[in-house]
Amino acid sequence: MRHPDRYFDADPAVRGVARALYQQTAALPLVCPHGHVDPEILASGRPFPDPAALLVIPDHYLLRMLYSQGVPLEDLGVPRLDGKPVETNPRKIWQRLADNFFLFRGTPSDCWLRDELAGVFGIEEQLNGRTAMDIYDRISEQLARPEFRPRALFERFNIEVLCTTDAATDTLEHHRAILDSGWRGRVLPTFRPDACVAILSPAWRGEIERLGSLAGRDITGFGDFIAALENRRTFFKSMGATATDHAVVEPYTAELSPEEARRVFARALRGEATEADAHAFTAHMLMEFARMSAEDGLVMQLHPGSWRNHDPWVFATFGPDKGCDIPVATEYTRNLRALLNKFGRCPGFRLVLFTLDESTYSRELAPLAGHYPALRLGPPWWFHDSIQGMVRFRERVTETAGIYNTAGFNDDTRAFLSIPARHDLSRRVDASFLAGLVARHIIELEEAGEMAVDLACRLARETYNLGK
């Protein structure tokens, strides 16, 4: 059995308090305001596929580590864009993972997968080369049962609400199907217009055409573009969305004059936009999206600082999201000044800010969040969504911004089955962090209990307006 005290501080005084705090949050519903689960699985309700297709092939955390130690992505069943053959036997793929699972020692992937096998499938054995096939069989057998279908698991997991991430030009057909099905599970879309803003991307023109077509208007200028985006936001809201999401390399914000914006957009439409245009346009569009959020109340999420597809060979061979996005140093104080000055105290506007650059926690993000009313800090993101990553976040942010300028937890996962494990790990780490404050007499036990519940779900619910 997974140890009941796992992830808690080893000190007995801290551990005792952590256990008590965790008991107050362990059974609370899971509020999932940000993630990447494919809504299709809940729309169709079909059984999950085999263990490899379910747990290995789509998990870029697993893929990147195995690849870094010499396992070809082909051997893990990752489809090549050129259609050349890759491993198709799920048992071989699973065996490959198991043979190399020692690589993950000390990583959150190890924690999540062990907890997931134990919590979802009742499998307590350690995954390794010897146990691989037995574990494979036990997973497969259970996946075939009705109680392991996606909607049944959604209910068993006690998910209160699950937000997906969806292109601005997504038709939201799966969300529609879920709504129409009469099933009570709450699955909400999130508006992510990045592809509409990427004016240098070869795919941009196509995206703009889709946008215009869905919004019912030709996009021949910047005004049409803005109107079409606003139209889609209205649609997303009507489908239950409460938030948007934006990814940029650099969170630079600056307003163009209406005329400049029109000119840049016109150049982009003619395929003549420059790097400088793209830089200015992205900065301006963050201002526009903030304005729209201030008007329509969709919570704005900003995820800067990831250099996407750092390895062009992997990108060209296998496509995006294969584990080769790499963080870059990120500046917030200067870059966000225009946006925060203009919208930072607008009632109804809320910005949730993420980072991959931990040096900004205490230097920029906590000081900013401790001043601007509109700003909340998202939980440790991606590479930092880990035990030590969470501890660093709390230790660097809390003393300046408190916990009430943070947005609570989100799992940010595309791996549906890992959702409970991720929330559980976060609740355990927060319980341990708070217990450390209690043990040092910085806060009282009663305060810690309230804070544990706030961090476990209340802050997420409130930050993203997800109260029922």
For residue 60, the minimal CB distance to a copy of itself (Å) is: 10
Could you say whether residue 443 binds a copy of itself (CB under 8 A)?
A: yes
Cα-flanking dihedrals φ and ψ of residue 253, to 5°? -125, 135
- DSSP H or E stretch at residue 163: strand 159-163
Cβ proximity to a copy of itself, 133 vs 328, nearer residue: 328
Count residues binding a copy of itself (CB under 8 A): 90
For residue 381, the minimal CB distance to a copy of itself (Å) is: 12
For residue 389, how many C-alpha atoms fall within 13 Å in the half-sphere facing its CB? 19
- DSSP H or E stretch at residue 353: strand 351-353
Could you say whether residue 421 binds a copy of itself (CB under 8 A)?
A: no
For residue 254, the minimal CB distance to a copy of itself (Å) is: 15
For residue 34, the minimal CB distance to a copy of itself (Å) is: 20
Binding residue (CB under 8 A) for a copy of itself from 197, 366, 431, 452? 366
**Residue 294 and residue 349 in contact, taking contact as beta carbons nearer than 8 Å:** yes
Cβ proximity to a copy of itself, 109 vs 301, nearer residue: 109
Residues 85-124 that bind a copy of itself (CB under 8 A): 102-108, 110-111
Q: Which stretch binds a copy of itself (CB under 8 A): 117-125, 266-274, 290-298, 320-328?
A: 320-328
| Environment class of 257 (CB within 10 Å of its CB; exposed 0-12, middle 13-18, buried 19+) | exposed
Could you say whether residue 145 binds a copy of itself (CB under 8 A)?
A: no
For the record, the structure tokens of 122 come out as 């009742």
Cα-flanking dihedrals φ and ψ of residue 289, to 5°? -65, -35
CA distances to 67, 72, 300, 323, 410 from 64, in Å: 5, 10, 30, 5, 22
Q: Which stretch binds a copy of itself (CB under 8 A): 4-12, 75-83, 164-172, 406-414?
A: 4-12
**Residue 466 and residue 161 in contact, taking contact as beta carbons nearer than 8 Å:** yes
- Give the span between the Cα atoms of 352 and 365, in whole angstroms: 11
The number of helix segments (H) and strand segments (E) in the chain equals 22, 11
Binding mask 152-191 for a copy of itself (x = CB under 8 A): ----------------------------------------
For residue 77, the minimal CB distance to a copy of itself (Å) is: 18
**Residue 386 and residue 80 in contact, taking contact as beta carbons nearer than 8 Å:** no
Q: Which stretch binds a copy of itself (CB under 8 A): 45-53, 142-150, 192-200, 389-397?
A: 389-397
Q: Which stretch binds a copy of itself (CB under 8 A): 30-38, 181-189, 277-285, 329-337?
A: 329-337
Could you say whether residue 140 binds a copy of itself (CB under 8 A)?
A: no
> In terms of DSSP H, where are the helices of 71-122?
90-99, 108-121
Beta strands in 265-320 (DSSP E): 299-304, 306-307
Matching residue, tokens 């930072």: 344
For the record, the structure tokens of 261 come out as 């914006």
Cβ proximity to a copy of itself, 173 vs 447, nearer residue: 447
**Residue 408 and residue 380 in contact, taking contact as beta carbons nearer than 8 Å:** no
Q: Which residues contact 334 (CB under 8 A, 6 or more apart)?
A: none
Could you say whether residue 364 binds a copy of itself (CB under 8 A)?
A: yes
Note the maximum CA span of the chain. Answer: 67
Cβ proximity to a copy of itself, 13 vs 203, nearer residue: 13
Q: Which stretch binds a copy of itself (CB under 8 A): 166-174, 181-189, 340-348, 415-423?
A: 340-348
Residues 242-281 that bind a copy of itself (CB under 8 A): none
| Environment class of 221 (CB within 10 Å of its CB; exposed 0-12, middle 13-18, buried 19+) | middle
Binding residue (CB under 8 A) for a copy of itself from 39, 77, 212, 389? 389
Binding residue (CB under 8 A) for a copy of itself from 176, 310, 414, 458? 310
Could you say whether residue 27 binds a copy of itself (CB under 8 A)?
A: no
**Residue 347 and residue 361 in contact, taking contact as beta carbons nearer than 8 Å:** no
For residue 276, the minimal CB distance to a copy of itself (Å) is: 18
For residue 65, the minimal CB distance to a copy of itself (Å) is: 6
- Give the span between the Cα atoms of 251 and 305, in whole angstroms: 8
Could you say whether residue 126 binds a copy of itself (CB under 8 A)?
A: yes
Could you say whether residue 309 binds a copy of itself (CB under 8 A)?
A: no
For residue 61, the minimal CB distance to a copy of itself (Å) is: 9
Residues 34-63 that bind a copy of itself (CB under 8 A): none
Binding residue (CB under 8 A) for a copy of itself from 168, 228, 278, 387? 387
Cβ proximity to a copy of itself, 42 vs 302, nearer residue: 302
Task: State the sign of the Cα–Cα–Cα–Cα dihedral 284, 289, 295, 300.
Answer: negative
Binding residue (CB under 8 A) for a copy of itself from 74, 311, 321, 462? 311
> In terms of DSSP H, where are the helices of 332-418?
337-343, 360, 366-369, 387-401
Cβ proximity to a copy of itself, 5 vs 38, nearer residue: 5
Could you say whether residue 74 binds a copy of itself (CB under 8 A)?
A: no
